[in-house]
């Protein structure tokens, strides 16, 4: 029996949102300053008066734009080493460690950027399906390649990843409205399963 597992990352497998954690870890002074500057945008976001992707791009870009890929990847590795497995829910970790790898394909499907999610996906032995950071000449442009990997986009990316593979069962795990499309599409959709 061949299974496909699709795991959301932030909040589902972790206790916290890694975006804020990583950006603060990367440059805490810049983070505090830019966080304050972005508060009005975060408020508009809560009120559904701003686009998530635009606000996210603006906030991440305000801290990482112009930084080299080499430095960003180094800091991502340091971030992972400092926080893994502490920020991962224990029962989620147990579940992942007991996956039958011979008959299961596992995807880490996240709106987080690939740059800091990659070390976690590697540790979980999962393929990463994430929002992609754009680099030009080894420098982060502040833009994404394609769309923010959330909501309907999660399903678009999953389907592109699995192409013609056939599964007896597709099981998805999520914890927010951004996972609803993925959870509904799966044969089994588990909401806040590891909480």
pLDDT digits (tens, 9 = 90+) for 17-61: 999 999 999 999 999 999 999 999 999 999 999 999 999 999 999
The sheet with strand 3-7 has its strands ordered as: 139-145, 127-136, 104-113, 3-7, 169-174, 188-191
Residue 111 makes CB contacts below 8 A (sequence gap 6+) with: 10, 56, 130, 131, 148, 149, 150, 154, 178
Per the CB < 8 A criterion, the answer to whether 23 and 64 are in contact is: yes
Tokens of 94: 């147990």
Per the CB < 8 A criterion, the answer to whether 108 and 114 are in contact is: no
Say what the pLDDT of residue 164 is.
82
Strand partners, 133: 144
- The CA-atom distances, in angstroms, between 85 and each of 18, 41, 42, 75 are 13, 32, 29, 17
Alpha carbons 180 and 143: distance in angstroms, whole number = 26
Q: Where are the beta strands (DSSP E) in the chain?
A: 3-7, 104-113, 127-136, 139-145, 169-174, 188-191
pLDDT class for 1, splitting at 50, 70, 90?
Answer: confident
Q: Which of 3, 2, 21 is nearest to 120 (CA)?
A: 21
Per the CB < 8 A criterion, the answer to whether 9 and 112 are in contact is: yes
pLDDT tens profile 62-99: 999 999 999 999 999 999 999 999 999 999 999 999 99
Q: pTM for the whole thing?
A: 0.96
Say whether pLDDT at 180 is over 90.
yes
């Amino acid at each position: 029996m061949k299974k496909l597992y699709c795991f959301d990352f932030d909040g589902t497998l972790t206790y916290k949102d890694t975006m804020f954690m990583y950006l603060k870890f990367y440059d805490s002074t810049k983070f505090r300053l830019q966080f304050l500057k972005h508060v009005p945008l975060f408020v508009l976001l809560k009120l559904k008066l701003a686009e998530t992707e635009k606000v996210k791009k603006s906030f991440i870009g305000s801290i990482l734009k112009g930084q080299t890929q080499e430095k960003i990847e180094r800091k991502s590795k340091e971030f992972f080493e400092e926080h893994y497995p502490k920020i991962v829910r224990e029962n989620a970790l147990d579940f992942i460690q007991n996956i039958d790898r011979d008959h299961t394909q596992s995807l880490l499907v996240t709106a987080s950027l690939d740059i800091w999610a990659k070390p976690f996906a590697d540790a979980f032995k999962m393929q990463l399906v994430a929002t992609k950071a754009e680099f030009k000449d080894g420098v982060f442009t502040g833009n994404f390649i394609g769309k923010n990997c959330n909501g309907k986009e999660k399903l678009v990316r999953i389907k592109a990843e699995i192409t013609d593979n056939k599964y007896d069962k597709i099981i998805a795990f999520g914890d927010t409205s951004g996972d609803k499309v993925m959870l509904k599409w799966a044969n089994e959709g588990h909401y806040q399963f590891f909480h």
